[in-house]
Amino acid sequence: MFVKRNILNKVTSTISYVIYLGMVVILFDVVIMHELLGFGYPSHYEQENIFRYPAPYVEFTGKPYTKGHNEYGFRGSSFKESKPSDLKVAFFGGSTGYWGNPSIAKIVEKELEKLLGDSVFVANYSVISSNHRQHLHGIIEYLPNFKPDLVVFYGGYNETVQSAIYDPRPGYPFNYFYRSETSPFIKLLLENSAILGEIDEQFGVFTGINKLREMQRPYSDSWNTRIANNYFETLFLANKVTNTIYSRRFGQAKFLAFYQPYQVPIEFLSKHYDIKKHIHNHEYVFDVSSEYDSLGKDIYSDIVHVNQQARDSMGVRLANIITDVIRERGWLTTAKSDY
């Protein structure tokens, strides 16, 4: 009896110790490392925040009625605020189109009014981390009822190099592997455990991101080619879809895309130059990737984001190109009689 009681006491003591140790580990992991020190899985993969709020078909927008977002989740006023007489421009981009005081979209609006001597309304549909494949769906979801005259895509980085860093599948939203393909239980662990979050950030064992990268092989010749092909295919489709929308100014809405500047990694440099060459085969695509060359490297805060001086320069450049295209192609002369 004494021996049994002694064994029982040891088992009970061991269990108590394990529970106590587990509580200490959880306290250290969840409360100290995660909550207080900020270690763990990157929060930008989560969409339940003001910049990447879940939205059907386009994957995410900004959160409506928050941080200056309109009822659709986009920065600034929506087309509901425009006047019937306005030249209506829908501007799509990622964070480089979203940020700024003013943003590139707002600069384009102001410059177009001066250059065309007309009232212009630019609705900014830029969403942080979004890419042109999402913007293609955005045309269908948000524009037909407003009958814009012009749709502008400004991007290039999120459509190419961003895919090498995050979800590597061409055209996929940057966090698709996490939001749509990672189980709720794994998300719960990663979003609350600094230890597990850091492990997956390094090795991708829980979300499977490393397996995706092994399959896609970012920066390989094959991947670079698929990325470039997806870029041009997306612009081709965006042009076709845009042209189906009725425009009071032009008869049918017009589409223009601009390939933006970014600091190109050496692994993608050759394909970057191929993209620049191929742009000249498309009358609706323009290469502005050298616009910042004279401003120096100091304008960049990272691989793609720039200061306000650069945004101002880009906004003026885009407005000048758009004005030249409108005039040279005689779009204003094709306006419908009910304008």
pLDDT of residue 332: 80
- More confident call, 28 vs 40: 40
Is there a contact between 107 and 91 (Cβ–Cβ < 8 Å)? no
DSSP 43: G
pLDDT of residue 47: 45
Q: Name the least confident of 93-97, 217-221, 326-330, 335-339.
A: 335-339
- Using CA atoms, how far residue 148 sits from 85, 89, 252, in Å, is 11, 6, 9
pLDDT of residue 5: 57
d(CA 238, CA 122) in angstroms, rounded, equals 18
pLDDT of residue 37: 46
pLDDT of residue 3: 52
Average pLDDT for 27-44: 49
Is there a contact between 239 and 252 (Cβ–Cβ < 8 Å)? no
Average pLDDT for 281-300: 97
pLDDT tens digits, 51-60: 999 999 999 9
Mean pLDDT over all residues of the chain? Answer: 88
Q: What percent of the chain has pLDDT over 70?
A: 84
pLDDT tens digits, 94-127: 999 999 999 999 999 999 999 999 999 999 999 9
Task: Please say if the pLDDT value at position 39 is more than 60.
Answer: no
CB contact set of 58 (below 8 Å; sequence gap of 6+):
127, 130, 134, 135, 137, 138, 141
pLDDT of residue 193: 79
Task: Please say if the pLDDT value at position 131 is more than 80.
Answer: yes
* Torsion of the alpha carbons at 144, 122, 96 and 307, rounded to the nearest 10: 180
pLDDT of residue 38: 53
By CB atoms closer than 10 A (0-12, 13-18, 19+), residue 189 is middle
pLDDT of residue 50: 87
Residue 12: which pLDDT band, with cuts at 50, 70 and 90?
low
pLDDT of residue 203: 84
Task: Please say if the pLDDT value at position 10 is more than 90.
Answer: no
The amino acid that residue 23 corresponds to is M
pLDDT of residue 173: 97
pLDDT tens digits, 148-207: 999 999 999 999 999 999 999 999 999 999 999 999 999 888 888 777 778 888 888 889
pLDDT of residue 194: 75
Task: Please say if the pLDDT value at position 31 is more than 70.
Answer: no
pLDDT of residue 191: 82
**pTM for this prediction:** 0.87
